[in-house]
A and B are shown apart, each in its own frame.
Chain A
Amino acid sequence: MFDALRKLFGSEKESSKQIAARRLQLVLVHDRASVSPEIMDKLREEIIGVISKYMDINRENMDISLANGDNDNSVALVANIPVSRMKHGK
């Protein structure tokens, strides 16, 4: 409704409330992604546990971390896990 009015009067300016909402959406994505080191360690161990069932992995060179996703609004869990040997399928 308000947008319609604004267009009608030719002002395309974003209202301060829209700016606030947009800034909040963004900052919260990053706030929420700041996971504690303990949780990251636990996550890492559990991922290693699962993957090790199927393949031998090189723990020294693996890297699991949170990074910005493709668009501003997303966060991705990025895992780089070198595989040294596949196990035999059963």
Chain B
Amino acid sequence: MSENKKHAEIVVITSGKGGVGKTTTTANIGVGLAMRDMKVALIDTDTGLRNLDLLLGLENRIMYDLVDVTEGRVPYKKALVPHKKFRNLFLLPTSQVKDKSSVNPDALMKLCDEMRSEFDYILIDCPAGIEQGFQTAIAGADCAIVVTMPEISAVRDADKIIGELGRADKDNIKLIVNRIRPQMVEQGDMLDMKDINDILSITCIGQVPDDEKVVTSTNRGEPVIMTEDSLAGRAYKNIVRRILGEDVEFMDLHKDTFLRRIKRAFGMN
């Protein structure tokens, strides 16, 4: 191969609390980086609960999985599933077996090191919780993205995860606040990015609105970042740009609400 050796940045996407959007975030950032001509591998480590394949529309193309690779049955290249549209995006699917301990931290670390020279970015989708699956997912990572929601229990769990990452010497941590509802923020009924930032003291690289398009795009197996006109898609595009080192302003999620118009009419905004 004439290709220059790469040196991938390995990023784990984690949250503590379940269902806050780790897998959605992994799929969107993965597609976004691939759209920017990066060579990207996504590793699903949520053993027994395979999802990332569905979000990417690759569920019918899986031949081998992560456990086949870590147990030495096939080389990782054989298990990688190329994306249909973005040919520089690959998925290493998780296994559907129940045993959560079937991949240990050492095995994943070894795999990451082996893959590093072939990719620009390797994103690891982490299972919820702080047990063995979490420890495995973070083992090989250079940095972490913690996904949370503007909700008291999700923020508390994010704080816990940040503590755990620190104990594992993973000090490069970024935050994404997902599922923000601008109208509730406006009414003073939902924490916004700044509130959460103040509480967790972690650099925030994105705020993603709660957006129906996330659901419809998931239905199609095409991450929302691929649709032109969605607010969530734009938010993910900005996140990708920040990951690539660009300085991007945070967008205004607030729609033109009634209250806002009144405030403006009185010169208060």
User: CB within 8 Å of B: which residues of A?
Assistant: 1-2, 15-18, 20-21, 23-25, 27-28, 31-32
CA distance A20 to B152 in the complex (A): 6
CB nearest to B190 among chain A residues: A17
Q: How far is the CB of B259 from chain A (nearest CB, A)?
A: 9
| Interface pair A28/B199, CB less than 8 Å apart | yes
A31 is contacted by which of B156, B185, B195, B269 (Cβ under 8 Å)? B156
A16-B159 in contact given A1-B268, A24-B199 (Cβ < 8 Å): no
A24 is contacted by which of B155, B185, B188 (Cβ under 8 Å)? B155
- 19 inter-chain pairs at a CB distance below 8 angstroms, sorted by A residue, are A2-B188, A15-B187, A15-B188, A15-B189, A16-B188, A17-B188, A17-B190, A17-B192, A17-B195, A20-B191, A21-B191, A21-B198, A24-B156, A25-B199, A27-B156, A31-B156, A31-B159, A31-B163, A32-B163
CA distance A31 to B269 in the complex (A): 38
A15-B188, A21-B191 are known contacts; what are 15 more A-B pairs with Cβ within 8 Å? Answer: A1-B268, A2-B188, A15-B187, A15-B189, A16-B188, A16-B189, A17-B188, A17-B189, A20-B152, A23-B152, A24-B199, A25-B199, A28-B156, A31-B156, A31-B159
Q: How far is the CB of A60 from chain B (nearest CB, A)?
A: 31
Chain B residue contacts of A2, Cβ below 8 A: 188
| Interface pair A31/B160, CB less than 8 Å apart | yes
Total interface residues in chain B, CB < 8 Å? 19
Chain B residue contacts of A18, Cβ below 8 A: 188
* A contacts with B: majority SS: helix
Q: How far is the CB of B269 from chain A (nearest CB, A)?
A: 8
User: CB within 8 Å of A: which residues of B?
Assistant: 152, 155-156, 159-160, 163, 185, 187-192, 195, 198-199, 263, 268-269
| Interface pair A24/B160, CB less than 8 Å apart | no
Chain B residue contacts of A16, Cβ below 8 A: 188-189
Q: How far is the CB of B268 from chain A (nearest CB, A)?
A: 7
Most buried by B among A1, A16, A24, A27: A24
CB nearest to A34 among chain B residues: B163
CA distance A25 to B198 in the complex (A): 9
Chain A residue contacts of B192, Cβ below 8 A: 17
Q: How far is the CB of B44 from chain A (nearest CB, A)?
A: 29
CB nearest to B157 among chain A residues: A31
| Interface pair B159/A28, CB less than 8 Å apart | yes
Chain A residue contacts of B159, Cβ below 8 A: 28, 31-32
Q: How far is the CB of B75 from chain A (nearest CB, A)?
A: 39
Chain B residue contacts of A24, Cβ below 8 A: 152, 155-156, 199
Chain B residue contacts of A25, Cβ below 8 A: 199
Q: How far is the CB of A50 from chain B (nearest CB, A)?
A: 24
CA distance A32 to B155 in the complex (A): 13
CB nearest to B198 among chain A residues: A21
| Interface pair A21/B188, CB less than 8 Å apart | no
CA distance A18 to B155 in the complex (A): 14
CB nearest to A16 among chain B residues: B189
CA distance A20 to B188 in the complex (A): 10
Chain A residue contacts of B160, Cβ below 8 A: 31
Q: How far is the CB of A75 from chain B (nearest CB, A)?
A: 14
| Interface pair A17/B191, CB less than 8 Å apart | yes
Chain A residue contacts of B195, Cβ below 8 A: 17, 21
